[in-house]
């Protein structure tokens, strides 16, 4: 059974993640609902009501091809492989098979509490998922050194060949293929500020938390709806603010409004 914890304060959260990080759980993802949002990237999302995929399989390659053909006037940096193209497109909102995580547990908690008024169902709660990337990558079975998290800009030809076979654009491997945990150079301010990392999914993947032996690499932390606002205030007072997470002028204005309303 998967380990599931409930926290009611920032201090309780810090104590909990300090303990589990010592066990290797050091990728974090905050979500405003543990019911509506599965651990799936945007391209593989499932409509809760219909249980159908939002996008078809061919969107995987078609979206990236369309992005490549139209984006060049807007980019200051030209991606050098399909993984960099994928992460760049993901940053600007295109559905991909990358799922965002953070190496900062406080950033993840901010995402979980950012929308204090959101409840998908009565009794719904926010969640921070904690991932052990080493154990996840061990299950992928093609990484020679799974104790080192691969970089998306990796130039190891054997690694890139295996990665393309199972996770390349348009690839549809047979059987259960586990997602793989990856890092990527901080190519923009938000990834850098949020200490962003990724999991890359195969096109036919089930949600990460529903895969076989998910309890070995995931821990689930529940944040009850009634304490979200208080925890968000506590984060704000420790410097985890909109402009800290999203470094731009829009976020600075959100900080000013939040401070006016709640301090």
User: Mean pLDDT, to the nearest integer, of 65-76?
Assistant: 89
Confidence of residue 239 (pLDDT cuts 50, 70, 90): confident
Q: Which domain holds residue 108?
A: 3-262
Structural domain count of the chain: 1
User: Would the pLDDT of 118 be above 80?
Assistant: no
The residue-averaged pLDDT of 237-251 equals: 77
pLDDT at 3: 94
Structure confidence at residue 186 (pLDDT) = 53
Tell me the pLDDT band of 18, cut-offs 50, 70 and 90: very high
**CA–CA separation, 170 vs 56, rounded Å?**
11
CA dist 241 and 260 (Å) reads 14
**Closest to 74 in 3D by CA, of 153, 193, 188:** 188
Tally the C-alpha atoms within 13 A of residue 205's C-alpha that lie toward its C-beta. 30
pLDDT tens-place string over residues 20-39: 999 999 999 999 887 777 89
* Residue 153, pLDDT above cutoff 80: no
**H helical segments located in the chain:** 10-21, 59-71, 82-91, 105-113, 133-140, 157-167, 189-194, 228-237, 242-245, 249-262
pTM for this structure? Answer: 0.87
């Amino acid at each position: 059974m998967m380990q599931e914890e409930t926290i009611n304060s920032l201090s309780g959260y810090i104590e909990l993640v300090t303990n589990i990080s010592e066990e290797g759980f050091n990728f974090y993802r905050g979500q405003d609902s543990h019911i509506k949002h599965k651990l799936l990237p945007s391209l593989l999302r499932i409509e809760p009501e219909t249980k159908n995929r939002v996008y078809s399989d061919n969107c995987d390659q078609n979206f990236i091809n369309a992005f490549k053909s139209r984006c060049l006037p807007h980019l200051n940096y030209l991606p050098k492989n399909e993984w960099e193209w994928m992460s760049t497109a993901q940053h600007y909102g295109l559905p991909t098979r990358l799922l965002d995580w953070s190496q900062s547990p406080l950033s993840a908690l901010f995402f979980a509490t950012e929308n204090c008024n959101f409840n998908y169902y009565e009794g719904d709660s926010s969640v921070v998922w904690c991932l052990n990337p080493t154990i996840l990558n061990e299950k992928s079975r093609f990484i020679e050194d799974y104790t080192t998290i691969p970089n998306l800009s990796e130039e190891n030809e054997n690694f890139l060949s295996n990665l393309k076979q199972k996770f390349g654009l348009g690839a549809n491997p047979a059987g259960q293929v586990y997602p793989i945990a990856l890092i990527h150079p901080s190519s923009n301010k938000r990834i850098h500020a949020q200490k962003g990392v990724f999991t890359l999914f195969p096109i036919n993947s089930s949600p990460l938390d529903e895969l076989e032996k998910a309890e070995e690499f995931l821990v689930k932390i529940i944040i009850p709806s009634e304490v979200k606002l208080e925890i968000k205030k506590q984060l704000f007072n420790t410097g985890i603010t909109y402009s800290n997470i999203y470094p731009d002028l829009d976020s600075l204005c959100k900080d000013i409004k939040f401070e006016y309303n709640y301090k």
